[in-house]
Chain A
Amino acid sequence: MDDREILDLWRSGRREEAFSAIVRQYSERLYWHVRSLTGSHEDTDDLLQDIFIKIWGALPKFRGDSNLFTWIWRIATNETLNHLDRRDRHPQEGISPLMEEKIDGDPWFNGTAAQRELSKAIASLPVKQRMVFQMRYYEEMTYEEISQVLGTSVGGLKASYHIAYEKIKDFLEKALG
């Protein structure tokens, strides 16, 4: 079911069915989006509940000015950023001890040592660069899509991605030798 069919369902008054369709369509992909930013399964699980409650509450106000995917991603990203602000309490550059601890102690991490260092390198980025890198590298979103979610110009996003890439490279060179 695509976004247009979901919205048609909503407008016809079958709201619960439309919401279920959104859950089926986006929950898994949204999980990975949030997980890549929080670095924690438990935090992501809690956040997803809050995010979907917000989506359900905000759906009556959705006018279709942007597409549904972008709108959902914007809600999820804002909610995650608020959570990170509260949790880490230091949005400036560098990995927080809490974040490093979560990555090292994550029982649901099944990558290689290099991937663990990559996760730490990404977590050390300022939050805006981190989001751009995650959405572009792991989620393979286009710059235009990221631009709609974050409200930043495509040129600015490309610059952020390039800076993030250089920082990650430096981080990995130091960590892996």
Chain B
Amino acid sequence: MSKNTSPYSVPEGYFEGLKSRLERIPAEHPLPRERRFPILWTRIRPYVAMAACLALLLAAGAFFLDRKAGLDGTDGISIYEQMMYSDMIPDTDPFLVFGAPSDEEDSFEISDEDIMDYLISSGASAELVAYAGDL
């Protein structure tokens, strides 16, 4: 102890008996075996949760956009496809205005009248129109 001695004492041989009694504790109270899986799972759980949230977010986003496209589109063409096509094909193209086949026609046939209409609208010369009318 210290220079300020405790006035207490212990029975003879007490500490030897105490130590041997305390050293038996591990045998009398075995520790639970460490399980590696729970520790690993505890470590990776936040990352798995983050990945699951991201996947859920992507799935919800894809579902939402797909549904929106289906609602807004016409004739099975999504609004994005329409936007893309409108950029690629100018609606001033005379072929699209006059030459596109109608839904009612089973086959694509060009009549003389169609040719004439096309020539007139495309600004062809009078000689060429006259020539075509003579054919």
Q: Mostly helix, strand, loop or mixed at chain B's interface?
A: loop
- The answer, among A24, A35, A45, A137, for a CB contact under 8 Å with B8, is A35
Question: Are A52 and B22 closer than 8 Å at their CB atoms?
Answer: yes
Q: Which of A31, A60, A111 contacts B18 (CB 8 A)?
A: A31
The interface-forming segment of B26-34, B45-53, B102-110, B112-120 is B26-34
| Residue A27 lies at the interface, judged by CB distance under 8 Å to chain B | yes
Q: Are B7 and A56 in contact (CB under 8 A)?
A: no
Count of A residues near B, CB < 8 Å? 35
Q: Is A92 interfacial (CB 8 A cutoff)?
A: no
| Contact in complex: B7, A115 (CB < 8 Å) | yes
| B31 partner, pick from A20, A57, A110, A116, beta carbons under 8 A | A57
**B40 contacts A by Cβ under 8 Å:** no
**B interface size (C-beta, 8 A):** 22
B-side contacts of A138, CB under 8 Å: 1-2, 4, 6
Chain A residues with Cβ below 8 Å from B2 are 138-140
Q: Which residue of B lies closest to A18 (CB)?
A: B26
Whether the Cβ atoms of B7 and A27 lie closer than 8 Å is no
Contact (Cβ within 8 A) B23 A31: no
* B15 in the interface (beta carbon within 8 A): yes
A49 to B24, CA, bound (A): 10
Docked-complex contact B9 and A16, CB < 8 angstroms: no
B59 within 8 A of A: no
- Please tell me if A106 contacts chain B, counting CB pairs below 8 Å: yes
Question: Which B residue sits closest to A16, measured CB to CB?
Answer: B26
Instruction: With both chains docked as a complex, state the minimum distance between the C-beta of B18 and any C-beta of chain A, in angstroms.
Output: 6
